[in-house]
Structure 1
Amino acid sequence: MKNVFTQFKNHAMTGVSYMIPTVTVGGILYALALAFSGGANVTNPFLANIEAIGASGMALLVPVLAGYISYSIAGRPGLVPGLVLGYMAANPMGPNKIVTGFLGGLLMGFLAGYFSKWVKTWKVPAFLKPLMPIIVIPLVVVLILGLLYIYIVATPLGAVVSGITAWLKSMSKGSAVLLAVVVGFMISFDMGGPFNKIAYTTGVALIASGDGHLMAMAGVAICIPPIGLGLASLILRTRFTDEERNSGKAAIVMGACGITEGAIPFAASDPLRVIPAIMIGSACGSVIAALGGATNMAPLGGLLVLPVVTGVWLYVLGVIVGVVVVIALMALLKKPIGTGNKVKKTAA
């Protein structure tokens, strides 16, 4: 059972590792366009083109995730089915125009990979073998799983995503502190995974209706895990490996750019200590932004969006406090390397 979980995690991490550059490139270009325009509405034609390029990169997030999860499972024949099914998850499909987003992409990436792997085992005539990886497998998998997604998967999965989104939206009319805690927890719990993306996309949806409060909470929470862990790895040097300290430098930059995934290497090596610490830190930061009434009308988090944030000093204070909390918890929870951070494996 542990083996199966490890395989699933490795396939998911492969998808995430290929997804991160698309988020990075798209997010930075989008944020730069907003920063230089001085507001959420970009009117300068050149900056509008930069914004469009950035948006194009961000639109590849779910297809690339699904494509490379499938590729990790089935090799080259799984790539195209994963990309196509990921695109379907990210865009309105079927008579009800359902979007399942990150959650749908994650599911369809795994289905595409394992189905492609199974089709690879089919016994076919010799003349068909060269065509299997480039035509037969992609065609069969995309057709069957595409129809399965539209007619069976999309409706219930879309209802789950819509239900969570509606719940978060309803909370935005109630206690700001409670909402901030929930958003902080969701953003940091899986660091770019389904919970993170649902909270983020809810913030983006509320921006469209003129409310940037939830996006400010999310924007603060997004950057705290990578910045906090990155700084912790440099300050608390004896508690982190050389590899983690090297990752920490990149994580700080990724956090500033609003990329929570920079925290993943730390969480993967020590989840029981790292994940609770970043959840608490992110929640603290989000609460400060909420209490200060900060708003963020850009569909991004981190520090690049500061030019379009109102209540910017409370937003920045939230980031600082959250980062300090993460560092303090790492100092409390993580012991120096070799003194009990990890359970030693014994021979069976």
Structure 2
Amino acid sequence: MDELKRIRQYLMTGVSYMIPFVVIGGVLIAFSIALSGVEAGKGANVTNPVLVNMLNIGVAGFQMMVPVLAGFISYAIADRAGIAPGMVGGFLAMNIKAGFLGGIIAGFIAGYVARWIKGWRVPPTIRPIMPIFVIPLLSALVVGGLMIYVIGNPIAGLMESMTAGLKSMSSGSSVVLALVMGAMIAFDMGGPVNKVAFLFGAAMIGQGVYTVMGPVAVAICIPPLGMGVATLLAPKKYDETEREAGYGALAMGLIGITEGAIPFAAADPLRVIPSIMTGSAIGAAVAAMFGVGDHAPHGGPIVLPVVDNRIMFIVAILIGIAITALMVNALKKTVVEEVENGKGMDA
């Protein structure tokens, strides 16, 4: 149990440093898209030079999110020597499209490897260069090699098999397809599984089929909106950092940025991920049942002008939000109880 508590502390360290980058990226991207709007068949269409620069700043914040998460998970485990290999591992996780889950894996690998190397008995002449040269270099080589050669290929193969699976399902029940795609969208919030479902929905727009992207557009916004609402409904079940992240998640959800839920999922994956997957899957299924269509490769309420059956689009989102918020709050304990009982949030 103590080890599980330490693992949660490592995760929370990474999350606490990551949240400002999520806010910078999510809010600036959200504002630039909100002020520009979306177009049928094209998605977000940001053309104003000032808004383009705002969008680029937001994208830069998002690009740093996973490396910072991984770097500071590693830092929590191995101290200063873990930052560089952790960030390198997180950057590689982004390059192989492993998402924030890949970043978490990279952070733990880098941290534990760096801590192990720190324990080596070395001659006194080498000891001064250990934290600035030997430990970061060897740790980066280990975590980099694992991310490229061990983790990267399985992820690529998984994406191909998932795409083939969705294509085979598209000729069957639209509700079943929507359930699967909704769960995929929420699973890793912008990671490889999410991207497979999103790109499949976007590809169907090119074929003139809008009722696949419709459920996807619903599922995209439910994780951040659901978690934002959850923090408002039960604030005692979230610490101050998470409550602040909830406001940012609400803004991101309105613009269809699923990554707004990542801080919550990274901090408490066993409770948050099943909750957002359930909400997104059911919301997407409701949208499919009523033939909701989306003419733009984007999601969230911002695409309402290019949506078919707008009322049920909104209803499906509200249902998914309610399920996510109620489920995650039912699973969580209050922060005060957890501190008093010394149990942490591991389960």
TM range (shorter): 0.7 to 0.9
Q: How many angstroms apart in 2 are the aligned matches of 1:245 and 1:142? A: 33
Q: Cα–Cα, structure 1 residues 255 and 84, in superposed 2: closer, same or farther, change >3 Å?
A: same
Aligned CA-pair RMSD: 4.0
State the AA in 1 paired with 2:25: G
1:257-277 deviation line (CA, Å, top 9, x unaligned): 231246559968x94xx7766
Counterpart for residue 283 of structure 1? 281
Asked if 1:88 is matched to 2:92, the reply is yes
> 1:73 is aligned with what amino acid?
I
TM-score, structure 1 normalization: 0.74
1:113 aligns with 2:111: yes
Decide whether aligned partners of structure 1 residues 244 and 176 sit closer, same or farther in structure 2, where only a CA change above 3 A counts.
farther
- CA separation of 1:121/1:325 partners in 2, compared to 1, >3 Å: closer, same or farther? closer
**134 and 173 in structure 1: CA distance in 2 versus 1, 3 angstrom threshold:** farther
Q: Which residue of 1 aligns with 2:99?
A: 101
* 1:321 shift after superposition: 2.4
Q: Please tell me the residue identity of whatever aligns with 2:191.
A: K
* Structure-2 separation of matches of 1:313 and 1:307: 10
CA distance in 1, matches of 2:274, 2:146: 37
Once the 2 structures are TM-superposed, how far is the Cα of residue 83 of structure 1 from its aligned partner?
Answer: 0.5
Please give the residue correspondences for 1:51-66 in structure 2 after superposition, counting only pairs within 5 Å. Answer: 51-66=55-70
Distance 2:152 2:331 in 1: 42
* Cα pair 2:287 2:312 within 8 Å, conserved: yes
The offset of 1:81, in angstroms, is 0.2
Task: Count matched residues.
Answer: 321
The runs of 5 or more residues in structure 2 that have no matched partner are 39-43, 206-212, 254-259
The answer on whether the counterparts of 1:225 and 1:263 sit within 8 Å (CA) in structure 2 is no
Q: Does 1:69 align with 2:70?
A: no
Q: How far apart are the structure 1 equivalents of 2:277 and 2:244?
A: 21
Cα offset for 1:203?
4.3
SS of the equivalent of 2:120 reads coil
* 1:31 match: 30
Give the equivalent residue in structure 1 for 2:261: 260
1:241 is the counterpart of 2:236:
yes
Q: Structure 1 residues 85 and 281, CA, compared in 2 at 3 Å: closer, same or farther?
A: closer
Deviations 1:278-300 (A, max 9, x none): 5544333222334342438466x
Question: 1:275, 1:51 → 2: CA distance?
Answer: 28
- Structure-1 residue corresponding to 2:256: none
Segment drifting more, 145-154 vs 67-76 = 145-154
Alignment of 1:95-174 (within 5 A): 99-164=97-162, 166-168=164-166, 171=169, 174=172
Shift in CA distance, 289/199, structure 1 to aligned 2, threshold 3 Å? farther
Q: Counterparts of 2:295 and 2:181 in 1: how far apart (Å)? A: 14
Q: Are the aligned partners of 1:203 and 1:214 in contact in 2 as well (CA < 8 Å)?
A: no
Report the equivalent of 1:310: 307
The answer to whether the Cα contact below 8 Å between 1:223 and 1:255 also exists between their aligned partners in 2 is yes
Counterpart of 1:197 in structure 2 is: 191
Distance 2:197 2:267 in 1: 26
Q: C-alpha deviations, 1:167-222, integer Å up to 9, x for none?
A: 4565456433223323444555x6xxx47734432344347646444640332322
Query: Scaled by the length of structure 2, what TM-score is found?
Result: 0.74
Q: Say whether residues 1:175 and 2:180 are aligned partners.
A: no
157-166 vs 132-141, which moves further: 157-166
Q: Residues of 2 paired with 1:51 and 1:133: CA distance?
A: 37
CA contact (8 A) 2:93 2:99 kept: yes
TM-aligned CA distance change 1:289 to 1:64, over 3 Å: farther
In structure 1, the residue corresponding to 2:125 is in which secondary structure?
helix
Q: Please name the residue that 2:45 is paired with.
A: 41
Q: Which has the higher contact order (CA 8 A, sep 6+)?
A: 2
Per the alignment, do residues 152 and 30 of structure 1 end up closer, same or farther by CA in structure 2, a change over 3 Å counting?
same
Aligned-pair identity (%): 36
Contact 1:81 1:112 in 2 (8 A): yes
Say if 1:60 and 1:127 are closer, same or farther in 2 by CA, change over 3 A. same
- 8 Å CA contact 2:226–2:276 kept in 1: the answer is yes
* Structure 1 residues 345 and 78, CA gap change in structure 2 (3 angstroms): closer
Structure 1 spans left out of the alignment, 5+ residues: 93-98, 234-239
Distance 1:160 1:335 in 2: 31
Aligned twin of 2:17: 18
* Alignment CA distance shift 1:327-1:109 (3 Å): closer
Is the Cα contact below 8 Å between 1:220 and 1:289 reproduced in 2? no
How far apart are residue 118 of structure 1 and its match?
Answer: 0.7
State the Cα distance separating 1:318 from its structure 2 match. Answer: 2.2
What is the distance in 2 between the residues matched to 1:329 and 1:208? 30
Displacement after TM superposition at 1:36 (Å): 1.3
Aligned-partner SS, 2:313: helix
